[in-house]
Every structure is written in structure tokens, then in C-alpha cells.
Amino acid sequence: MQIIHHLADMTRWSNEVIAGGKALALVPTMGYFHAGHLSLMRQAGRLADHVVVSLFVNSLQFGPREDLSRYPRDLQRDARLAENEKVDILFVPTSEEMYAPDFNTRVRVNGITDTLCGQQRPTHFEGVTTVVAKLFNIIKPHCAVFGQKDFQQLSVIRKMVRELNWDIEIFAHPIVREEDGLAMSSRNTYLSSEERSKALCLNKAIQHAKARFADGLDDSDLLISEIRDIISANSGVSIDYISVVDKDTLSDKEVIDSQSVLALAIKVGGTRLIDNCFMGSDSQISN
């Protein structure tokens, strides 16, 4: 595995791969890999001849009071884990190269960024789409793999690719969970043992919702009220949002169907966690 830091070197390598008729898959990350990241890399390896994993803690997607400075970082550890997954390139650009002092361009996807996480983090998705657009142009992948845990992000990226006519196929990977049901996230490292136990209310809420829908409940307001009670029973846990939305438009749904998505965001202490599920099954967003 090679580690590439410079943008021009990354593009040069990609051009050689493409000229040789080989397919290239990208897994964009902010590093501090866990088993969920590694499963994305394995999926990418099944989709293409070569795999590039980008590792870049993107300042544009953090708000002024968010956790940019404390976001976990360990390049040596990440490089070792990526190499074990037979990744070809670990692309680790610097902020100085990605965003020159006079950088003043943004890529914005309107509409579906105004709800869910976009309500709480108004500049977040503009930062995500801008950095992903840059990565697509630098690396030129034939396909890219994103995790379904960041459900809104996945939807936003797909809309951007479709509307800007990029010839890139976006693949969704199902949420990877710990044995106790907590969705894997680099931010889980922030949680104390007590906070981690309380964070399990997310998966408890999801399992309750799926069981209630299977029993015939289709009133989203009633379901949201029940989930609010489950989460609020945990001291030190606050709710950012609980929503049942359409899988494509992310608009609120009054009547739940099998393709509705339950999306949740909470804060446990100072740590913000998200989770989601399709109400009807364990299916994922179709590729």
C-alpha cells in the first residue's frame, strides 16, 4: 500500500490506473478506522480492481462549536488497518493543499440538506459536498462506497452526483453495529462507560419502532412519541431529532410504510450520535 499526500501525485496515479483499463473505487473517510470503515473497504475491493481510501478530517463540515480539534486521529494505526484490507492507496492530503488561503468555492445541494442533521448543523452538508466533489475530481473513481449510518449524507451525495452528471456509481453499505447494537462511529471513543450504556437507547428505540410497525402501527406521530419516551428515560441524553421520512426526498411522512426511514440524532453528554433504519426490513438504500 502507498500513502499519497499530494493532490497532483494522487491524480497522476489515478490517470495511470484508468489508462490501463482498470476500475477504481473510492472510500472517503475522516480516519480513526473501526470495523465499519474496514467493511466499506472490503466492499470497495469487490467492486473494482483498485481501492483508494481517502483520510481527511474536513474542516469545512465542522461548525464553530463542534469537535474538529478533538476529532480522533492516528495515522499509523489507520495505515496498518487499511493495508490489512489490501487497500492500494491511502490518500492523506493536507488542509493547506485541499484549501488554499484564497479558497472560496462551495458545492451546495439544496432541499434535502434543510432537514434532519441539516437543521442542527446548517453548514455541515455544504462542507461534505464540497470536499467529496474535490475528492471525485482528484481521484476520478468509477464508484464510491458510503456507509448507510450517515443516511442523509448518502442521499445528498447521490443527489449531487445525479444532478451534476458525474459518471460515478454510489454504493451504500449497511450499518455495522457493535455486539450490543450501538452503531459503530469514531465518535463512540468520546463516550464514558456510563454514557455508552445510555447510548444504547438509540438501538432500543429502533427495535421498538420496527416491532411496532410489524404489529401494524403506521401513525408516525404516535411512534415518535413512544420513541421520545424511551430516549428521555435516560438522564444526560438529549434529543436533536426523531423523524420518520421518505427515503428519497427525506420529507416527513405522516403514514409509515415499508420504505419509510426512521432517523434519530441524540446527544449523550457532549457527544452527538446518529442512527437510522428502514421501517419494513433490514434492507438498505438501493444502489
Do the Cβ atoms of 181 and 199 come closer than 8 Å? no
Angle ∠(239,243,115) on CA atoms, nearest 5: 90
Long-range pairs, 165-169, Cβ under 8 A, ≥24 = 166/136, 167/142, 168/136, 168/141, 168/142, 168/143, 168/144, 169/142, 169/143, 169/144, 169/287
Quote the distance between the C-alpha of residue 209 and its chain's center: 22
6 is catalytic: no
Eight-class DSSP state of 114: S
Pairing assessment for the beta strands 169-173 and 237-246 based on DSSP bridges: unpaired
Do the Cβ atoms of 172 and 148 come closer than 8 Å? yes
Closest among 43, 41, 42, 44 to 25, alpha carbons compared = 44
Exactly one of 5, 37, 124, 173 is catalytic; which is it?
Answer: 37
d(CA 13, CA 256): 47
Just list the catalytic residues: 37
